[in-house]
Amino acid sequence: MIELHNIDCIEYLKTLEDNAFDLAIVDPPYGLGKKPTTGGGGKNTQSEKWDYKWDNAIPTDEYFIELKRVSKNQIVWGGNYFPFLWDKSCRGLITWDKMVYIPSMSQVEYAWYSLDKLPQLVKINNNDSNRQHPTQKPVKLYEWLLMNYAKEGDKILDTHLGSGSIAIACHNLGFDLVGCELDKEYYNAACKRLKQHQAQLTMF
């Protein structure tokens, strides 16, 4: 079952019991503003297309406290930007090689994983011209995460749904998901994207 909510994730997390989810896979703001598309200065087509006000600051410590409370384990994209996560040594680093090399954009992204697991490298192409969100990640990347870090029957949480790639991945692999997205336009686009994907699968 896939549940998507247009809600502030902190408000939602506070309604949950401890360990309500088996695994949280989240991609919160990194606090970079337009830096991901400009390399720190200048302009390009990506920086002109999107509004990056939502990425001006990282989440508060309260967010991470609640996230860890309601989920047994966590995968946090951009974990290298969040000092709160590094309260102890952790080998659980996931490196995503985007396989798209643009001088003004990062060639890799890192995710922090809560368990002491050997670091992993995954290579999945991020060249998607049909983007609905500036930080949209491939469905195949989320499928890889689920296949390597989730167990059958796990309930998954995403606090920053964005384009909804994780919802499609969970649908494809049969995982229950609850996703939260504060921005109404991104939420509507993610819901539409999921419904279109489900309809295509039904047709074939």
pLDDT tens, position by position, 151-191: 999 999 999 998 899 999 999 999 999 999 999 999 999 99
Domain count of the fold of the chain: 1
Tokens 């890799």, located at residue: 108
- Confidence check: pLDDT of 62 > 70: yes
Q: Domain holding 134: CATH number? A: 3.40.50.150
Count of other CB atoms within 10 angstroms of residue 140? 15
Query: Cβ(187)–Cβ(6) under 8 Å?
Result: yes
Work out the percent of the chain whose per-residue pLDDT is above 70: 83
55-59, 115-119, 187-191: range with lowest mean pLDDT = 55-59
Task: Please tell me which residue, 46 or 168, carries the higher pLDDT value.
Answer: 168
User: Is 88 a residue whose pLDDT tops 70?
Assistant: no
Q: Tell me the pairing of strands 2-5 and 21-26.
A: unpaired
Domain range enclosing 158: 2-203
pTM of the shown model: 0.87
Helix axes 184-203, 165-173, angle to 10 degrees: 30
